[in-house]
Structure 1
Amino acid sequence: MAVRIVSYNILVPILANRPDHYTKCQPEFLQTEHRWNLIQSQLEQEIVQHKNTIICIQELSLPILPKLELFFRRLNYTFFQNLYEEQCKDYMGIGIAIPISMQLNSISIIKIGDHIRSFSKLHNKETNLFTWGWNIYQSAISKFIQPISDPWEIAMTRRNTLIFLQVVIDGKVLCVGCYHMPCRYKEPDVMAIHSSIVKDLMFELSTGKDFILAGDFNLKPCDICYRALTEKDYADCILPKSDIYEISYQRNAGQVLKSAYREKNGVEPIYTDFSHTPHSPNFCETLDYIFFNGRLAVKDILELPDHPTSESYPDQTHPSDHLMIAATFELLS
């Protein structure tokens, strides 16, 4: 019994169609039609060449959504999606596609910001003459000094959602999640909150069953958050305090994930994201992962290049600034 998991950040058109941003890309390679032809070709190859292929998409967009719906319908797939961002970001979202023949037990779409809010309670501060005066003072100076943002408040305002499916493959239950981590490099506490909560939520939702969590996590293998996801009882990841809320959540450091590529190769890929932009010249890092937990064995993976062959993605053969990643798992009895 085996399942193939594919994860792909396909880059929203509103970001791709910016020659002033992707300054080392040829403009024709940024066009949606060129990119879409390559994307569907790559996805179809994974579906045709492997049994029980499940596709996890990040940076889904409203312009691409109808194309994907028709594509998956043609290949006898069911596509579940959630667009959560604003119009200025092409209503960016995520999706999971499964074969129509695959038994689906349940589906959940969870807005992580709302989940965080569910275990957060505003501090109940006593009001007296001193605090009343202090609040007036704080209000006055806030007009001249930008107040420090609370990381938990920022984490709650992120729109990112988790799609969680429970399927049955040859009589064995498997849970699959797809997530796109908020890209908040300048606010590592926010990323620590989201990564920790999504990981623990997968354990909670799967209720002891095997699960796979795939997506663009915007984390490098050397980052504290990655190590907290993959190393048991990792102590250097300390979630921040909140000045606004009482947070009842505590990170479960004993629950960790394995990474498919690291399990198979001993190391993560050299890179899964490559682009040259004014703010991040020659950015070449691993940000995409297929994590898992339970009685699953990695049979094989989609081999990735050792180094880019152009000045920047997207290019003639790479329709996104991310590489597609994939792994085949054996479901052990």
Structure 2
Amino acid sequence: MFVLTMYYKNILPKKYSESNSYLLLTRIIIWTFLICKVHSKLDQRYIGSMYGLQNETLVNQQRGIRLDVRKTLAIQFYKNNTKTLETYLPLTENKLDKSGCLPTDKFSIVLHGWIQSCSDEWAVALIERLSFYRRGCVICIDYSYVASSSYIRLYANFEYISEVIVSIVISLFQYGFDPSRGYLFGFSFGGQLASAVGRILQPQFTLQNIDTCDMAGPGFDPIDIDHSKAAKNVQCFHTSRDKGTLIYSCHRNIMLGSCGLSQPSVASQLHLGSHGLCVDIYINTFDYPFYALRKPPTECISFAKAANIPNDFTVGYQENFNKQVIGKIFVPTSLHYPYNLSKKELQLISRMNV
């Protein structure tokens, strides 16, 4: 462990502070040791990819690494939780007319992760919740053809996918949609995409809200990106230490479970793992209260600013963003579905935390 620490410390960029270096060293070392450990079906996919990275030769990496995103990416439109249109690029005014979505509607865009699609159970559930609570037009962008390849190929196409999604969003604006009524949600790799899309749109267009769930870390850390610049209000939910980013630069960094690094419910939901549980917990915040601790837990190392938490503050999708609550927010989670704690349980934890 000492040798690994000294090795990685020497290769980290000099600009990082000691605190940031500690977090980044922890990420790299943990990833090194956990790469051979299987926790869930989702974990197996990641680990298989990592072995693929090691075994794939440079020639194979370079051959065909740029996949044809524009021809395979599907755009799915929903109104009242009913799919009204599935189409491909270019996104024309005629196609938008057929979608039933109006420029006066609020619009939500959902971006999935690696080895996922808009047909995944969590994506279907989120579209339903957004249709019920937020209403308006819900759009899921399905790039599963690219996402079904190895992680290194997906990562190599990150900028290209981002540019294609930006072109879709700009088409919506040209059709008359209002950026101030726009919301993006991204899980894992999709979380990094959501932030990138929001930042590319600046300064001409500024989206209102972006929420991300356990934004991917592998391939993206340790680059210190300011995700708060992606929209007026950016919330990032964190659930895992090995797959989620350790860059906490959103307006709100919501640290779920044990310091945002693991979830107690992995004991009852082994097929999801701490990473995959993020979207389940996020979807449950629409219907169940997830109360935040007013003070950071003593066991959680926090170099970033902790938010000033009002009484009975709950986290989740929030259309009316309270700009007074900015920073790290710690939200304990439970062993079983729906993974939230009652006020009484939270008070008990708070007393133990004094």
Same fold (TM over 0.5): no
Q: TM-score, normalised on structure 1?
A: 0.30
Q: Indicate the structure whose relative CO is greater, using CA pairs within 8 Å and at least 6 residues apart.
A: 1
Q: TM-score, normalised on structure 2?
A: 0.28
Which is richer in helix? 2
* Higher alpha-carbon Rg: 1
